[in-house]
Amino acid sequence: MITVLSGGTGTPKLIQGIKEIYPEEEINVIVNTVENNYFSGVYVAADIDTVLYTFSNLINDETWYGIKDDTFITNERLAEIGTPELLRIGDQDRATKIQKTLLLKEHTLSEAVDIQRKNLGIKAKIIPMSDEHSEIKIETEEYGDIEFHDFLIKYQGQPTVTKVKYSEVNPSPDIIKIIQDSDKVIIGPSNPITSILPIISLKGVSEELENKKVIAVSPFIGTSPVSGPAGKFMSASGYETSSIGVAKIYESFLDTLIIDSSDDKMIEEIEKIIPNVIAANTIMKTINDKKELAKLVLNSD
């Protein structure tokens, strides 16, 4: 059994590879929840939905958001009647979000997601990192504290980030036990600051990871992330924007870091921080890239 720690883009790409070569019922995915919030009257747990759609082969894997070939009739109508949405939610994707919102009236988030994954025929366990509401704020030079989605969408990731702040929440009930029962924990190439740090900062998690084989894939190539704002968030949090910074964040429990082949000159430096470094192709474009990287992650110590 394995446990994967995930955000909503880099790690789901790796999961597409893992699920091709590893029994789905033996996969647990602990998913970041700090970016969850209500939008347009529905509860949006974007990273959780991306993982649900990844396992059910519904994912729009061009944007890594929502369902492929979705329509946007409700989204367009909302704009026409004068209430444009901040998040562009597709019609079928909105059904998932409405269902989750309704389930949350009587269930915890963990229970709601478990019902949804079973309805989608998913055998892997998908576990929200917390059942509690959390707040994430991006502190910027230009506008002070702004909402995470405003930073990404309204301000297009442009402001200078001085700090990333999120509230402390309790882990959801099964997390520690699931990590204990796993042979290996995989940290996919997700944003270390906004996707993974919130999970590993949960009470008891990093202590448990110290007792486990933990292998991570870096989301960086050279000094830039493959996509998104991880670089800005890493430097605002005091880390180098490269796989060296990633190794430092996971230093206390990480056994192996997979970095891109083009960064092989960093191996020596990273080996001073953590025990093992492997250089390989970490860019996941084709299903074959994803399977090859998944094989390496599953077979390395």
- The contact set with ligand GDP (CB under 6 A) reads 7-11, 13, 47, 189-191, 195, 217, 219, 225-228, 230, 282-284
Minimum gap (Å) between residue 217 Cβ and ligand GDP: 6
Minimum gap (Å) between residue 195 Cβ and ligand GDP: 3
Q: Are 5 and 199 in contact (CB under 8 A)?
A: yes
Expressed in angstroms, the distance from the first to the final Cα of the chain is 14
- For residue 5, the cross-strand partners are 30, 187
Find, among 231, 214, 230, the residue nearest to 276 by Cα.
Answer: 214
3-state secondary structure of 212: coil
Minimum gap (Å) between residue 105 Cβ and ligand GDP: 26
Q: What does DSSP say about strands 2-6 and 184-187: parallel, antiparallel, or unpaired?
A: parallel
Write down the residue that tokens 């729009």 correspond to.
Answer: 60
Secondary structure letter of residue 38 according to DSSP: E
Given the complex with ligand GDP, which of 47 and 119 has the nearer CB atom? 47
Given the complex with ligand GDP, which of 75 and 194 has the nearer CB atom? 194
Given the complex with ligand GDP, which of 180 and 288 has the nearer CB atom? 288
Minimum gap (Å) between residue 286 Cβ and ligand GDP: 10
Minimum gap (Å) between residue 282 Cβ and ligand GDP: 4
Given the complex with ligand GDP, which of 27 and 230 has the nearer CB atom? 230
Which residues 6+ apart lie within 8 Å of 300 measured at CB? 215, 256, 258, 276, 278
Given the complex with ligand GDP, which of 9 and 96 has the nearer CB atom? 9
Q: Are 257 and 243 in contact (CB under 8 A)?
A: yes
